[in-house]
Amino acid sequence: MKRIIILIGTILVVILVIFSYNYIQYQINQKIVKEYNYSFLQFNRKNIYGTDITSVINKAVNSNEQNKISKNELGEYISNQENSIKIYITFDPGETIYPMEKIYQKSMQEFTKLFGGVKFDCTDVAYHKNGKVSEMYFQAINY
């Protein structure tokens, strides 16, 4: 009888330890995702300037480089469904949408000089399945 009670107690302790470990890992992952997203979602508001757009593009490029995200033949980052991020910019609704790589390749200084004072709105944000930001869309509002 004692053996059965000890065995059941041991099994319950093991289950409790496994559950606790998984819960702590989940909380750690959620905190990492929240911190990652904050660095991008601080730009998810109305009336940000072109200088802020250069900041978010630089953050996205740095993040993609750190995470070793592959590029296609056009030099654009390929989504890996985990931690890649893309920024898209349009100047008029329904017009051409420019990926961040085109702006980054041309010259961030030139973009800042030409559009630094232009106001933009973040019109959409998409997320990976793990909750991390995958895409952000910005549109000029007083261009």
- What's this model's pTM, rounded to 2 decimal places? 0.81
Delimit the domains of the chain by residue range: 2-140
| Gap between the Cα atoms of 77 and 61, Å rounded | 9
Characterize 44-71 residue by residue with b for buried, 16 or more Cβ atoms within 10 angstroms of its Cβ, and e for exposed.
beeebebebbbbbbebbbebbeeeebee
Per-residue pLDDT tens digits for 3-56: 889 999 999 999 999 999 999 999 999 999 999 899 898 888 778 999 999 999
Cβ atoms of 99 and 87 within 8 Å: the answer is yes
Provide the β-strand partners of residue 99.
88
DSSP state of 135: E
